[in-house]
Structure formats: C-alpha cells, structure tokens
C-alpha cells in the first residue's frame, strides 16, 4: 500500500491568515504532497508566550478557516503532548499513530536559518523530508549532502505576518482581506487582539 504524502505545517497561528492558506494550497497543488496538516502549537519554545491567544481559541480559528478545504486539515496532536512541544516529538508521535502516511515538514526560510537550534535537528533532517518556502530577506542555503531530503520550494512570497495583523487590529484597522472570513468574524465577535 502506498503511503499518503502529508505535509506538516506547524505554528501558533495567532491568528491564521491568508498567507498560511496560500502556502498550504500551493504545497498541495505544486509539490508531492497530497494533504497539508496545520498542527496548532500550544507554545513554540523559540517564541514568547505572552502574546499567545488561548490554545482552544486558536484551534477554533484554524478549524473555521479550513472547513471548506478537502486537502488542508487541522491537527491538535500537540495539545496532548508535554509542553513545550518539539517538532521531532510531534513527527515521531504522528508517524507512530499514522503508519499509512509519509510526513514532510514544511518550514519557512526564517526557520531554516536557525534550524540548528531545533531539538534533534539532525534526526529531523535524516528521518523526514523538509520543504522550505522562501521568506523575505532570508537566503536559503541547503548543503549538498541534504538535498535529497530537503528542498527549497518556489512558493509565492506572501509578506503578511500574524504580528502585523494583531498590531493592526489593536490599532482598530480593518483587516478583513488578510484573514479567512470566518476567522475575521470570530475575531470581531469575541473582540480578540484588542
């Protein structure tokens, strides 16, 4: 039986925005991936927890955003894991739970630039394929010995960040075009990021 090629795109998604969806959609349509899973992280060890919206709210936003997508889904796999959660542990857990899938890690050029700070990063490079998407101002260099497993994907560069969106909402700006409609409606309804 052929394994299903599944991309893992993890992050805090605080909030999930149009750029995330464009990227996931691109990965499904223009790479070997058949599906992309948004793994909502309760807390990224390399990020400050202060500005992080409640875990369940962020998960709800991602669920709402992905309702109309067949090949892009949400995963709360890290919610049942010790915190902070590390990518190597998440992928190990998912590989054990879903032996019918090949998991590929999707990361940005900014994360690739500091990949050597990740827990067991060499194991990640050895055991999993990694697709790196471009980020503004980040040159992506993949050492020749890793090019079988790791590749730079020519995905569109979308210069939208969750920080920009949070700050803009705080300033009272209209941000509807930057977010999936259901996510924006939830943010307004609950008065989030004010």
Q: Give the tens place of pLDDT for each residue, 72-129.
A: 999 999 999 998 889 999 999 999 999 999 999 999 999 999 999 999 999 999 999 9
- The CA R_g of the chain, rounded to the nearest whole Å, is 16
CATH architecture of 4-158: 3-Layer(aba) Sandwich (3.40)
Is pTM beyond 0.85? Reply is: yes
pLDDT of residue 83: 86
pLDDT of residue 50: 60
Q: Which residue has the higher pLDDT, 83 or 61?
A: 61
Burial 138-177 (b: 16+ CB within 10 A, else e): eebeeeeeeeebbbbbebeebebebeebbeebeeeeebee
101-108, strands of its sheet edge to edge: 72-75, 35-40, 4-11, 101-108, 129-133, 150-152
- How far apart, in Å, are the Cα atoms of 142 and each of 111, 115, 130, 133? 13, 11, 11, 12
pLDDT of residue 44: 58
Calpha distance 29→9 (Å, rounded): 15
Q: Give the tens place of pLDDT for each residue, 25-52.
A: 999 999 999 999 999 998 655 566 567 7
Q: Where along the chain do its domains lie?
A: 4-158
Q: Compute the average pLDDT of residues 146-170.
A: 94
């Amino acid at each position: 039986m052929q394994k299903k090629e599944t991309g893992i795109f993890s992050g805090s998604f605080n909030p999930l925005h149009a750029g995330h969806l464009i990227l996931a959609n691109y990965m499904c349509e223009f790479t070997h991936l058949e599906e992309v899973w948004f793994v909502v992280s309760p807390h990224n060890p390399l990020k400050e927890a202060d500005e992080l919206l409640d875990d369940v709210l962020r998960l709800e936003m991602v669920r709402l955003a992905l309702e109309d997508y067949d090949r892009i889904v949400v995963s709360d796999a890290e919610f049942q894991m010790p915190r902070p959660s590390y990518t190597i542990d998440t992928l190990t857990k998912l590989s054990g739970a879903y032996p019918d899938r090949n998991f590929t890690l999707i990361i940005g050029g900014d994360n690739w630039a500091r990949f050597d700070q990740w827990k067991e990063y060499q194991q990640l490079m050895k055991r999993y394929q990694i697709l790196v998407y471009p980020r503004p101002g980040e040159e992506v260099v993949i050492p020749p010995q890793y090019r079988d497993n790791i590749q730079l994907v020519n995905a569109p560069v979308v210069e939208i960040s969750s920080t920009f969106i949070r700050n803009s909402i705080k300033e009272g700006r209209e941000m509807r075009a930057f977010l999936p409609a259901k996510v924006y409606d939830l943010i307004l309804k609950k008065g989030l990021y004010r």
